[in-house]
Amino acid sequence: MPKGIVLASGSVHRRELLKNAGVDFTVRPSELDERSIEAPLRDSGATPEDVAAVLAEAKASDVAASHPGEIVIGADQTLALGDAVFHKPATMEEARRTLLALSGRTHTLNSAVVLVENGSVTWRHVAVARITMRELEPGFIGRYLAGVGARALTSVGAYQIEREGVQLIEEIEGDYFTIIGLPILPLLQELRRRGEIDG
């Protein structure tokens, strides 16, 4: 008999991807302080992919503690530009600086997803996408941010590819779901393999 599936994320985008795929699940966002978990990783030589995987696991494990017997999905995404790792901007000024830094360059999005059951990680996957941004004039960045408003603060690169942010992009290597922040194809494959969703 299928187990309950819990999404340990408050991301509207991840929720929509699972819902649109027809998965029956509940949402229980983790309350962990991600930056405090990430801080010691910076000095340990962890790659941005490692950081995404560790954060995804930490969030899933946190929620799984109060959901025994259920499958908890944890997910996280990092954005790397060279050696720099970016986070969701807290202010519009941070969003502006992020877009200026990404302008004309190729950055990497690392999207991790893990499954935790009864305190143990039972599956993990990290998908990578590379995005090359157009050369963005400062004036255009200002107009773009004025148009999208606070939505710019909800994604790690201050852009949303499913909306106006697609105008900022010159080239993509990788799939749409990785960019959104949930590698849903391998996740669905694993859930089918376990008999948790119809396949």
SS (H, E, C) 129-166: EEEEECCCCHHHHHHHHHHHHHHHHHCCCCCCCCCHHH
Mean pLDDT calculated for residue range 8-33: 92
Predicted confidence band of residue 128 (pLDDT cuts 50, 70, 90): very high
Q: Are the beta carbons of 183 and 125 closer than 8 angstroms?
A: yes
pLDDT, tens digit, for every residue of 67-81? 999 999 999 999 999
Alpha-carbon distance 149 to 151, whole Å?
5
The pTM of this model reads 0.90
Alpha-carbon distance 164 to 81, whole Å?
22
Q: Which two tokens stand for residue 26?
A: 């509940």
**Which CATH topology does 5-193 take?**
Maf protein (3.90.950)
Cα–Cα distances (Å) from 17 to 40, 180, 183, 185, in that order, read: 31, 9, 10, 10
Q: How much is the CA Rg of the chain, to the nearest whole Å?
A: 17
Q: Annotated active-site positions, please?
A: 76
For residue 33, list its beta bridge partners. none
Q: Are the beta carbons of 179 and 131 closer than 8 angstroms?
A: yes
pLDDT, tens digit, for every residue of 102-125? 999 999 999 999 999 998 999 999
133: left (phi over 0), alpha (psi -120 to 50) or beta: beta
Question: Is residue 35 scored above 90 in pLDDT?
Answer: no
Alpha-carbon distance 65 to 62, whole Å?
6
Length of the chain: 199
Helix (H) or strand (E) holding 39: helix 34-42
The dihedral through the CA atoms of 55, 61, 67, 70 has a sign that is positive
Those residues with Cβ within 8 angstroms of residue 43's Cβ, 6 or more apart along the chain or in another chain: none
